[in-house]
C-alpha cells in the first residue's frame, strides 16, 4: 500500500512541476513576441521627458499642410524640449506629441490595415510630417479620406490644424 501511495504522490508532484514549468515558459515567451509591423524600430522610452538630456533631444519635425484652407496651409518647423519653431502652437503641439508617446505605441503610426472605418470624407487636406521624434525617424502622411484617417488627424491637433466642424468638438 505504501508503494502505491508513493507512486501516486510522485505522479501528482510531476504534474504540478510540469504545469509550473509550462506557465513559466508561457510567461517568458509572451515577452518575446514580435512588435507590430508599424513599431519595428527600437522601443520608445516610457515618456519623452525620461530622456537623459531633454534640452538636447533632437526632437525636430517639419510639418507640411496642403488644402486645409484658411491660413493653415504651409510648412512649419517644430522643435520640442524646449518647444520652439515657427509652428503656430509649438507648446501645444509638443504637449500633444508627448501625451501620444508611450512604450510600445508609435505616435505617428498609420491606421492598421484591418481597421473598419466609416465612409465619410473630411475634406481634401493632407499633411506630411518628417523629422525625428524620441530619437526615431518620422515620415508620416495624413489625409481625411475616411473616418479612421480623420480620427488619426484629429488626435494630432494642434500638431496638425484643427479642421473639425464647429460644435462637434
pLDDT above 90 for 71:
no
**Lowest-confidence segment of 4-18, 27-41, 95-109, 152-166 by average pLDDT:** 27-41
What Rg do the C-alpha atoms of the chain give, in angstroms? 24
pLDDT digits (tens, 9 = 90+) for 132-141: 998 899 999 9
Q: What's the chain's average pLDDT?
A: 76
Q: Report the pLDDT value the prediction gives residue 144, as an integer from 0 to 100.
A: 97
Q: What percent of the chain has pLDDT over 70?
A: 62
Q: In the chain, what's the furthest Cα-to-Cα distance?
A: 91
Which of 11-25, 100-114, 146-160 has the weakest average pLDDT? 11-25
CB 59 within 8 Å of CB 134: yes
Decide if pLDDT at 105 tops 80: no
> pLDDT class for 102, splitting at 50, 70, 90?
confident
pLDDT surpasses 60 at 151: yes
CB atoms within 10 A of CB 156: 20
The number of helices, as runs of H, and strands, as runs of E, in the chain is: 3, 4
pLDDT value for 106: 79
Q: Is 92 helix (H, G, I), strand (E, B) or coil?
A: helix
State the pLDDT at residue 44. 41
pLDDT digits (tens, 9 = 90+) for 4-54: 455 555 566 555 444 444 444 333 433 333 433 333 333 444 444 444 444
Output the pLDDT for position 2.
45
What is the pLDDT, as a whole number, of residue 57? 62
Cell of 83: 518647444
Amino acid at each position: 500500500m505504501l508503494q502505491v501511495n508513493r507512486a501516486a504522490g510522485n505522479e501528482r508532484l510531476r504534474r504540478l512541476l510540469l504545469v509550473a514549468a509550462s506557465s513559466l515558459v508561457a510567461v517568458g515567451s509572451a515577452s518575446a513576441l514580435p512588435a507590430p509591423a508599424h513599431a519595428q524600430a527600437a522601443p520608445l522610452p516610457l515618456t519623452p521627458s525620461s530622456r537623459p538630456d531633454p534640452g538636447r533631444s533632437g526632437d525636430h519635425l517639419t510639418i507640411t499642410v496642403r488644402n486645409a484652407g484658411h491660413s493653415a496651409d504651409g510648412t512649419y518647423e517644430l522643435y520640442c524640449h524646449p518647444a520652439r519653431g515657427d509652428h503656430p502652437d509649438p507648446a501645444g503641439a509638443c504637449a500633444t506629441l508627448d501625451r501620444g508617446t508611450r512604450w510600445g505605441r508609435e505616435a505617428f503610426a498609420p491606421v492598421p490595415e484591418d481597421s473598419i472605418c466609416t465612409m465619410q470624407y473630411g475634406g481634401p487636406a493632407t499633411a506630411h510630417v518628417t523629422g525625428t521624434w524620441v530619437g526615431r525617424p518620422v515620415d508620416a502622411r495624413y489625409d481625411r479620406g475616411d473616418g479612421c484617417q480623420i480620427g488619426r488627424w484629429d488626435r494630432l491637433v494642434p500638431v496638425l490644424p484643427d479642421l473639425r466642424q464647429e460644435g462637434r468638438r
